[in-house]
Amino acid sequence: MGKASRDKRDIYYRKAKEEGWRARSAFKLLQIDEEFNIFEGVKRVVDLCAAPGSWSQVLSRKLYLPVKQLPASKDGDLPLIVAIDLQPMAPIEGVIQVQGDITNARTAEVVIRHFDGCKADLVVCDGAPDVTGLHDMDEFVQSQLILAGLTIVAHVLREGGKFIAKIFRGKDTSLLYCQLKLFFPVVTFAKPKSSRNSSIEAFAVCENYSPPEGFNPKDLYRLLEKVGSPSGGDDLDCSSGWLEGPNKVYIPFLACGDLSGYDSDRSYPLPKVADGTYQSLDPVQPPIAPPYKRALEIKKASGHGIRDLEKLPLDS
């Protein structure tokens, strides 16, 4: 798809470039905030799976820059934003970058060190594995990433804090909902207007972090298994055998963002400049080291394409 064609078919892609966002995902976080006011009172925030960085940009613009621009602001007043991803990303003002894996619990220690031992008010996670197109598989891998995010949450989030995580809706959505409910009394699944209807993506908005009394983060998976297993705790069990009659789990599901605003599934006419042509903008900040970079280099150099990848040693 050409750039202009994508600009036409994806209004949020075009708007992201116009407004200086690195990715269209910025609008998803902004629309979640419109509905849930997630930034209120936030001084410390963790952005899990942050690259190329549009959510970190939102955090910087909403939390860091307004305080920095106050005439009397001191360093100690500035909100702390820690962004983590497997991939490196170009710098963003007010964002501390950590290149790391969120499935490694030690990543939580790194975050706490940056907060001088204090805990975060908000953790956001837009993590996504490489999608295969097999929905069950994608949903499963995505849910594992959320549980990794929840492990980080269990170490770094203060009581009363919020957790926003991308989910893929599927047959185990109610299980995930019950798992999140163990830690958050209020869990809503939200679909921002900028997230296409054709996509199974949605976002879990989890409010008022309240882990069970005496909870030790090391026991997280044991606790989660209890919810997932048919022989688990009586009133916690969300496995399919219990989803009948009064035991059925109803998940609060909310569309968010200005509902009369841009529709992500619609094409919009392109604005023309004076000479009647359309000027497509370049992406704001292409990823600096995407996993596909080497493949593109090889393809360009050889002129033969992807087949040459098979001849490469695995660690190249």
**Feature table: binding site:** 53, 55, 85, 101, 126
Residue ranges that bind ligand SAM, judged by CB under 6 A: 22-23, 25, 49-55, 84-87, 101-103, 126-129, 145
In the complex, the smallest distance separating the C-beta of residue 129 from ligand SAM, rounded to whole angstroms, is 6
Reduced DSSP (H G I as helix, E B as strand, rest coil) percent helix, strand, coil of the chain, to 5:
40, 15, 45
In the bound state with ligand SAM, the residue whose beta carbon lies nearer, of 103 and 239, is 103
CA neighbours closer than 13 Å in the CB half-sphere of residue 246: 1
Active site residue 166: yes
Could you say which DSSP state residue 266 is in?
S
Distance CA 200, CA 217 (A): 30
Element (H or E) spanning 307, and its range?
A: none
Q: How many residues does the chain have?
A: 316
Closer by beta carbon to ligand SAM, 113 or else 307: 113
CB of 241 to ligand SAM, least distance (A): 32
Q: Which of 17, 28, 162, 166 is catalytic?
A: 166
Angstrom distance (rounded) from CA 49 to CA 86: 7
- Quote the CA–CA distance of 150 and 114 in Å, as a whole number: 19
Residue 115 beta carbon to ligand SAM: minimum distance, rounded to whole angstroms? 19
**Bridge partner residues of 81 (DSSP):** 45, 95
CB of 55 or CB of 203, closer to ligand SAM: 55
Q: Pairing state of beta strands 157-168 and 201-207?
A: antiparallel
Binding-site annotation, residues for S-adenosyl-L-methionine? 53, 55, 85, 101, 126
What's the closest the beta carbon of residue 124 comes to ligand SAM, in angstroms? 8
Give whichever of 102 and 178 is closer to ligand SAM, judged by the CB atom: 102
Catalytically annotated residues? 166
